[in-house]
Copies of this chain bind each other. A is one copy, B any other.
Amino acid sequence: MATSNKPVRIAVDAMGGDNAPGAVVAGAVAAARMGGVQIMLVGDPAQVQAELARHDTEGLPIGAIPSEGIIIEGEAPALALRQKPRASILVATMLVKQGKADALVSMGSTGAAMASAAVVLGLSEGVDRPALGGPILGLAPHTFIIDLGTNVDCRPTQLLSFAVIGDVFARQFWGVEQPRVAMLSVGAEAGKGNRQVRETTELLLKSGLNFTGNVEGDDLVKGNAEVVVCDGYVGNIVMKLTEGLGLALSSHLRKTLSGKLSETDLDATAQDVHDLNNIVHTHGGGPIFGVNGISVVGHGAANARAVQRAIGTAKYSHDIDFIPKLNEEMAQVYARVQEESPSLQS
């Protein structure tokens, strides 16, 4: 562990997300108060100062770094990065690249944060595009699903890299010694699935990972694998279907149980069903995987508490040396697979 007494320097994109800069600054102040971090708020100077003035920051390790412009949800990330070279997300990412910050945190847009991380921090060896993954079903909080939408039409070697990311995540973040790694498919038996699943299965069998075979859609809520690997096309549909069902069932229950439960219990039940199926919203956020640096991206709707948690995740990722560990395991697994199939293009 890279733990030391030195605070972890975290660049926070003060302008990212629906509730910026208010919620972001509030979350950053709360994180600074907890200790162990030094915060650089990157944003429009006047707006950031106005928000900082709402809090008692006397003596807290929190400062501001000026930027110009924001990249919002829906903008084409690559184009926006070129058009706004001083945008908050780019300035924050540059601080990490230049070694002035140990990690950065942004509440979006996700596309801009990922593009910025890929361009500025660079991709890890053997990775084509950054990936997003995480637990997305509250009923199976220790099942890490990857990819969630950045990568579609994945080659088997990409899916293999997702498996490694999940394996390192489950060991480092959850302390699972031998994470069970599974492929999402349409039947439990080996060989069931599409061509992508079958080809990836061959690589996983040679990977040295604890590959346990296929899981099906209903297994995702059962927690019978720590890591579930899938193409971003299906991962994104799984994530959004879960969120949509959570929202719809929450309001359905609010109607059908109205008058049968106390107002407090009704609210709690509706909230519970919502939150269990929308943990990407309610959690702080996760690291972008496959880039050479720590960039934690959270949900655009994040409140101050979620921002604070995202800063905690960034600090923890730095403390445990997540990126070097991931790169190291990635290299080992690729070497192992390549040894057994020399023709493999990584």
Contact = CB atoms under 8 A, between A and B. Distances in A.
A241 interface: yes
A269 B216 CA distance: 26
Contact of A217 (B184, B197, B238, B269): B238
A262 B259 CA distance: 12
A335 interface: no
Nearest to A244: B218
A184 B186 CA distance: 17
Contact of A240 (B217, B237, B260): B217
Interface stretch (A63-71, A100-108, A167-175, A272-280): A272-280
B186 A149 contact: yes
Contacts of A186: 149, 152, 232-233, 236-237
Size band of the interface chain A makes with B: 35 or more
Given A186-B152, A244-B217, A248-B139, A256 B269 contact: yes
A4 interface: no
Given A139-B252, A249-B249, A261-B261, A220 B234 contact: no
A132 to B, nearest CB: 12
Contact of A238 (B153, B221, B237): B237
Contacts of A256: 269, 272
A301 interface: no
Contacts of A244: 217-222
Interface in A208-251: 216-222, 231-234, 236-245, 247-249
B193 A221 contact: no
A152 B252 CA distance: 33
A162 to B, nearest CB: 16
A241 B240 contact: no
A210 B221 CA distance: 36
Given A218-B240, A249-B276, 6 more contacts: A185-B233, A217-B240, A222-B248, A234-B234, A242-B245, A252-B276
13 contacts: A139-B245, A186-B233, A217-B242, A219-B244, A220-B241, A221-B241, A222-B244, A233-B234, A234-B237, A238-B238, A253-B269, A257-B261, A261-B261
